Chain A
Amino acid sequence: MKTRIITKSTCKPVISEPGNSAVYKTGAWRSLKPVFEAAHCSSCLLCWLYCPDMSVIVHDGKMEGFDLDYCKGCGICALECPGKKGEKAITMVKEDIL
């Protein structure tokens, strides 16, 4: 996700477009990003159950990935993921923000 970085010319806490909370992507708060590896997923959906931001995308009872617009990178999905044969289906990697 790329958001506009505040500079000298935009340094003012003013919202000029009403109703813009729908376009505010709180995923920008994230510093770690979950990565999904389908081969190691048993569709237990513990990640979906634990995710505090409803950011785990599930279709037809299968985990399909993450809604990174709102995922804050808390990592609880990766922590709870039992994976398969000792391999986690979710791992956390550093967000590319630099």
Chain B
Amino acid sequence: MKKMTAVTGNEALAEALRQINPDVCAAYPITPQTDMMQRFSDFVADGLVDTEMMLVESEHSAMSACIGASAGGGRVATATSGPGLALMWEMLYVASGMRCPIVMAVVNRALSAPLNIHCDHSDAMGARDSGWIQLWSENAQEAYDNFIMAFRIAEHPGIRLPVMVCMDGFIISHSVGVMDFLADDKVQRFVGNFTPQDALLDVERPVSYGPLIVTDQYHEYKKAQNEIMDSVFAVTEAVASEFEYLSGRRYGLFESYRLEDAEIGIVVLNSAAGTCKDIIDEARENGVKVGLLKPRLFRPFPYAAVAEALSHLKVVCVLDRSDSFGAFAPLYVEIAASLYPREQRPVLLNRIYGLGGRDFMPEHVEAVINEMTDIVSRRIAATPKKYISLRQYY
């Protein structure tokens, strides 16, 4: 029998970091990530890992130190949240452009103003175009599994790109859930030894990082980065099947839940998918043919496969926990782009939920399902973008 443990999301990732034992970890505390790095600092202080833990003066410095350490030839990991990720913004592009295989936990938090420390996906969505690979996680178990797999994807010789692993702030980072930890030696064997490429600390073969490339080749450079992203799908799937052999847990580029015979569907990232699946099960018992698609790999985005999974539906509601003011929200835009080339495609709705940690409750999923059912039976017309779970008073 498996040994199950009860831990928070932050504890799970701190434990993954202990097992992986990276060479360097540069971080700056920010809620709700703080307690992950605090726990990991304990492991460093207790001598359980060899990691060089660098406590820097800001997230911009944290990412800069990670880039330096990665270019130096080390295996590097860090973590951040919300405004911390926003402050890293400039350096995120440097990390991906310099092909630094850094792995970073992003504990999703809202962006100021107004000041808010709670769950929201605006932070990671702001880093959507930074050239980082993005893995999203429904719960602590998936975050732990993604985090371990992230090192293999990032460090793959054909990829060598940074990966961010997203999990919901507080809802997952601070809530206790059931966890099946892998044994230390299993994780270490799976992740393997780090092979540096063009290490700055290799004095036998000195290199310079970050020269100027202007109009002559910058354009081709960016195209090349895009092509590398195209190879990420196959690597992510290969790493996942190896991980399945190790753990018994299966991960695709996205999760399809009861979609095959569905008429209507929900698309949602991270922890809200769990709530949705429960309500989908209830609705199914009442004869409502509803399913769910939960993206796991958001960058690069698997457009064709997502379209294949959704095009047979009559109505799809994309739930976004972030917004683009005066425009559709980020996840909706990807789903619309996936489906546009298909001749047969569903009516698409964009519903904004849970900003700044607003609770996403079973009744909100029920309302979304009812709305889609009403659209199918033509009782109501489809409104493209709306906010749900709005309060009239408080």
Contact = CB atoms under 8 A, between A and B. Distances in A.
Contacts of B205: 16
A18 to B, nearest CB: 6
Contacts of A16: 198, 205, 207
A13 B216 contact: no
B208 A12 contact: no
A30 to B, nearest CB: 8
A interface residue count range (under 10 / 10 to 19 / 20 to 34 / 35 or more): 10 to 19
Contact of B211 (A5, A7, A8, A15): A15
B224 A14 contact: no
A50 interface: no
Q: How large is the interface on B (under 10, 10 to 19, 20 to 34, 35 or more residues)?
A: 20 to 34
Interface string B192-203: 000001100000
A29 B206 CA distance: 27
A14 B206 CA distance: 10
B115 interface: no
Interface string B140-163: 000000000000000000001000
19 contacts: A5-B220, A6-B213, A7-B220, A7-B224, A8-B227, A11-B99, A11-B221, A11-B224, A11-B225, A12-B197, A13-B209, A13-B210, A13-B213, A14-B208, A14-B209, A16-B198, A16-B207, A28-B216, A29-B214
A42 interface: no
A13 B206 contact: no
A15 B211 CA distance: 8
A12 B198 contact: yes
A28 B214 CA distance: 9
Chief secondary structure at chain A's binding surface: loop
Contacts of B228: 8, 11
Contact of A6 (B208, B221, B231): B221
B224 A15 contact: no
B224 A29 contact: no
B217 A5 contact: yes
B72 interface: no
A29 B211 contact: no
A12 B197 CA distance: 10
B126 interface: no
Given A6-B224, A8-B228, A13 B217 contact: no
B220 A29 contact: no
Given A13-B97, A18-B206, 7 more contacts: A11-B225, A12-B198, A13-B98, A13-B211, A28-B216, A29-B214, A31-B215
Contacts of A14: 198, 207-209
